[in-house]
Amino acid sequence: MIAPVIEAVDVVKRLGRGAGQVQALRGVTLNLAPGELTLLMGPSGSGKTTLLSILGCMLRPTSGTVSVCGETTRRAGHGKLARLRRDHVGFVFQSYHLFPTLSALDNVRLALDVRGEQGEPAIARARDMLETVGLSHRKNAFPHAMSGGEQQRVAIARAIVGNPSVILADEPTGALDTENGRAVMSVLANIARDPSRGVLVVTHDPRVMPFANRIIYIEDGRIIGEEAGRAGLAAAE
Amino acid sequence: MSLIFKLASRNLFQDKLRFIATIIGIVFSIVLVSVQLGLFLGFQRMVTTMIDHTPADLWIVSLGTKCFEDPSLLDKSDATKALAVPGVTAAVPLLIGFTEWSVPNNGSTPVFVVGTSPNGLYPWHIVQGDLNNLSDARGVAVDQSYFGRLGVNAVGETTTIRDHKVEVKAITKGIRSFTTTPYIFAPLDSAQDYVGVPHNDISYLLVRLAPGTNVAAVRRALMKKLDKVEVLTQAEFRDRSRTFWLFGTGAGAALFGGALLGAIVGTIIIAQTLYSSTKDHLTEFATLRAIGSSSLYIHKVIVSQALLSAVIGFGIAGLIDYTIVRMTTDSALPIVMTPLLMIGLFALTVVMCVSSSASAIVQVMRIDPARVFRQ
């Protein structure tokens, strides 16, 4: 059996204090396998983003355990959580969060720079990643001069340039039209074909379902169901 | 170019108005600090200019003398006693004092008379006339910067001091007094008449020693031989004068206070602009944290931004300082900039800017990286 890249067991997360406290997650257990694109779907307020923050080592669970590539986040301080993110996780955000003052190439390079990888090898690697997402011709463009789809693909290049085992994408097609959304999902699906890497996409956009190997449904902080996606079924056939 | 530096510089230059405000804050602060400290240095030099130009190994001064301008008097016969001490080769009398100079056709003005003797304190930077003619009993040397005040402007012109006729025999350049009262050099005997003291009264004895003499031993011997005097080295008298004018009068404290105020104002301005710049880029810093950057990496970005501001601000402030120094060179109180002061000012600028970034760093460290999912 292939070891999961992320393993969450009975994760509970309470947010806020006192009377305003909210239980965002109520005992979530899930595994993210490498070589798969998994969708996490659910309505607004269902706990998707909180779960993503916990799986991405940005938040610690109130109880339960999370392991990323075999390393637990239990009792991890800010420094260890940052290292886990740096070493194992790549993020793709709905709003891209590119640095407006940096070119596409520098935005991708940044993810290597924070890992201490600099100089010509880092530039070459960033250039390769832009080529992977089909944007080598836009390497000197600044975010404001790129379309939403292009910006999201730069964000994907930034997420994968450090060769992480896990890609977590939060509504990656949320701000894109159908064509750009499909292009972005194709890139993510290709990344998920890598047997050493798992991709988890949080979405409520049904247009992305054909790209999934697996779909997990969450509601009121609980996993309420799971099914194989069309890509998963095709692979099984 | 390092990506940290690129990110810092682009953050800094992105909002041009804020960048200009930051730089103006730094420049204002550094110019204020440098002018205050430059005035301090200038004042420090001005108050000892006479001592610095006096050829003496030891100064015999009245007990309790606070500075060169102190009006206390000695007995001229002390010179003979001093000369009897082994190792003393000369004991030259010097008189200083205030008097009134008759401005031709325009009343009178106070002047500070320096009564010179051969081998004693003589004027320097002679630009007109001959120093040898100053031994003429009526001869005086004046500085060209006081022509207007004194009503004379060339060698050979005459006037009176306390009804004693005097003639300008030499003109100097740059011998200015921080008290703004013009210095007048005259032969000792005449100076005693101008100041209105008996001819056996003098202000100081300038002691010269034979080469290789034990200064401490001579000093002890002089102290033993003479009553109610102090024997000071050139450096001691210089320090005493400086201490009196700079700290005894409060002038130094005022200059330091101004410098401190400049540094505080500058730090607050820079801190405020850096804080607001960081606040505008919070999402970017949150993204940096989300993608796993260490705290050190983020500190480097913010500190680079502060250092860049420091270098640009200091560069502009340096040019302004240079202009101010040039403009005040011939003034009564020139602003003095030394290489050491400039190095100190640069260090101060860096410290100011880096400490200003503390508030921005604290703000960034409090960011929840998960905010990137909410925006």
Q: How far is CA B227 from the centre of its chain?
A: 35
pLDDT of residue A1: 58
How many other β-carbons are positioned within 10 Å of the β-carbon of residue A21?
10
Residue contact A58–B6, C-beta within 8 A: no
Residues 160-219, chain A, touching B (beta carbon < 8 A): 170
A147 contacts chain B (CB < 8 A): no
Which of helix, strand or coil describes residue B242? helix
Quote the CA–CA distance of B370 and B373 in Å, as a whole number: 6
Quote the CA–CA distance of A237 and B76 in Å, as a whole number: 121
Quote the CA–CA distance of A93 and A219 in Å, as a whole number: 21
Question: Which parts of chain A register pLDDT below 70?
Answer: 1, 231-237
Q: Which of B334, B311, B372, B338 is nearest to B43 (CA)?
A: B334
pLDDT of residue A177: 87
Nearest chain B Cα distance for residue A47, angstroms:
12
Among A52, A87, A93, A112, pick the best mutation site for testing chain B contact (most B Cβ within 10 A).
A93
The token pair at A112 is 């290597």
A85 contacts chain B (CB < 8 A): yes
pLDDT of residue A234: 60
Handedness of CA A19, A21, A22, A27 (dihedral sign): negative
DSSP state of B37: H
Half-sphere CA count of B316, side-chain side, radius 13 A: 15
Quote the CA–CA distance of B319 and B151 in Å, as a whole number: 37
Residue contact B11–A101, C-beta within 8 A: yes
Average pLDDT, chain A: 90
pLDDT of residue A232: 57
Residue contact B3–A59, C-beta within 8 A: no
pLDDT of residue B351: 86
pLDDT of residue B369: 84
Which of helix, strand or coil describes residue B169? strand
Residues 266-285, chain B, touching A (beta carbon < 8 A): 283-284
pLDDT of residue A231: 65
Quote the CA–CA distance of A82 and A89 in Å, as a whole number: 10
Quote the CA–CA distance of B303 and B291 in Å, as a whole number: 20
ipTM of this predicted complex? 0.88
Quote the CA–CA distance of A157 and A111 in Å, as a whole number: 9
Share of chain B above pLDDT 90, in %: 46
Q: Which of B185, B179, B177 is nearest to B161 (CA)?
A: B185
pLDDT of residue B329: 84
A97 contacts chain B (CB < 8 A): yes
pLDDT of residue B15: 84
pLDDT of residue B312: 93
Domain residue extents for chain B: 2-46+251-373, 64-227
pLDDT digits (tens, 9 = 90+) for B58-84: 999 999 899 998 888 999 999 999 999
Quote the CA–CA distance of B311 and B353 in Å, as a whole number: 10
Question: Which parts of chain B register pLDDT below 50?
Answer: none
Q: Say if CB B136 and CB B101 are below 8 A apart.
A: no
Buried b (16+ CB within 10 A) or exposed e, A105-114: bbbbbbbbbb
Question: 3-state SS of chain B: helix, strand, coil percent to 5?
Answer: 55, 20, 25
The token pair at B320 is 């302004």
Q: Say if CB B302 and CB B274 are below 8 A apart.
A: yes
pLDDT of residue A109: 95
